[in-house]
């Protein structure tokens, strides 16, 4: 069924005259006449009857024209929906973030999400292993985190975003700040505050193990704001991506310990998607916007702020 012929029939029924309908369709009268004849032949029905002033629909023609209006409206709706899809303005997006990245969320959503767009956004803030599991079970479209738990996985495509310094942080006045030259072993006697660390080996894995003792106590929590408050009010040492707590460092509430042996330690930030799957344009728009947001906020403007 050719929708163009249906459209021609609707125009002819509305204007009741080949000349007027053809003019508005930007067709010649002969071309419109051939189109109507072809449609009648295809349907096996006489759709129009000639009268002195032009044409009127037959009884069958009236029924066909009304059905054609419905089909044409649905086709226009489908076209409009497809255009919104292609622009990433409709559909569902399921985003995963590591806990350290939660502070980026509000500004990111304000930049990319528009209330007038029919986009359902779901955000899941989880430890990286759970992000990997959800991605593999198709419960996420993409996630952003330290990518070491996803590296070398055949079903995951990893796009590097950049690196961001990781450090140990304490409150002002902490006695560790008085040490001339710190090592990770020096901080082991103090309570540890940290998000849950990935199970995969980290580049500074031995340093992490040396930096804490079970008897000193520890708090592992996915809510970074809670970890910051505990650290600011106690002798705990916070292990965190420095950019994730930059506002507290800039405000002087936390200071980054200068530890030479892990001076170059950094998070390998990635955006991870399922390999060999075609994302929806909406999911891809949100993924690209997230990668850009992380680069702008954390990577390009990252300036280490260490207590010496």
Boundary-marking domain end, from 86, 118, 133 = 86
Global confidence as pTM: 0.71
Residue of 83 and 239 predicted with greater confidence: 239
Cβ count within 10 A of residue 86: 12
Are 259 and 175 within one domain? yes
Structural domain boundaries, residue 33? 3-86
The pLDDT mean for the chain works out to 88
Are 33 and 79 within one domain? yes
Are 108 and 235 within one domain? no
Share of the chain above pLDDT 90, in %: 63
Are 45 and 103 within one domain? no
Query: In the prediction, which pLDDT does 208 show?
Result: 67
Residue 163 has pLDDT above 50, yes or no: yes
Looking at the structure of the chain, the number of domains it has is 3
Are 23 and 171 within one domain? no
User: Tens digit of pLDDT for each residue in 83-104?
Assistant: 777 777 778 999 999 999 999 9
């Amino acid at each position: 069924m050719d929708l163009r012929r249906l459209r021609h029939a609707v125009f002819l029924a509305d204007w009741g005259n080949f000349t007027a309908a053809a003019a508005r369709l930007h067709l010649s009268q002969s071309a419109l006449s051939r189109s109507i004849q072809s449609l009648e032949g295809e349907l096996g029905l006489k759709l129009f009857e000639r009268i002195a002033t032009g044409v009127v629909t037959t009884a069958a023609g009236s029924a066909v024209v009304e059905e054609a209006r419905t089909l044409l409206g649905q086709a226009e709706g489908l076209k409009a929906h497809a255009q919104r899809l292609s622009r990433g303005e409709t559909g569902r997006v399921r985003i995963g973030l590591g806990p350290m990245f939660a502070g980026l969320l509000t500004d990111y959503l304000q930049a990319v999400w528009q209330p007038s767009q029919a986009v359902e956004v779901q955000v899941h803030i989880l430890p990286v292993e759970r992000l990997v599991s959800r991605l593999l079970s198709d419960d996420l479209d993409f996630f952003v985190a330290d990518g070491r738990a996803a590296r070398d996985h055949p079903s995951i495509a990893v796009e590097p975003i950049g690196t961001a310094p990781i450090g140990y942080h304490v409150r002002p006045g902490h006695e560790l700040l008085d040490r001339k030259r710190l090592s990770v072993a020096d901080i082991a006697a103090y309570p540890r505050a940290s998000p849950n660390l990935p199970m995969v080996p980290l580049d500074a894995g031995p340093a992490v193990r040396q930096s804490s003792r079970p008897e000193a106590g520890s708090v592992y929590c996915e809510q970074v704001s809670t970890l910051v408050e505990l650290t600011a009010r106690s002798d705990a040492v916070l292990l965190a991506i420095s950019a994730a707590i930059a506002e507290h460092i800039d405000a002087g509430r936390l200071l980054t310990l200068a530890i030479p042996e892990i001076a170059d330690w950094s998070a390998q930030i990635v955006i991870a998607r399922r390999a060999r799957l075609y994302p929806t344009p909406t999911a891809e728009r949100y993924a690209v916007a997230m990668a850009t947001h992380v680069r702008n906020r954390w990577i390009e403007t990252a300036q280490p702020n260490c207590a010496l």
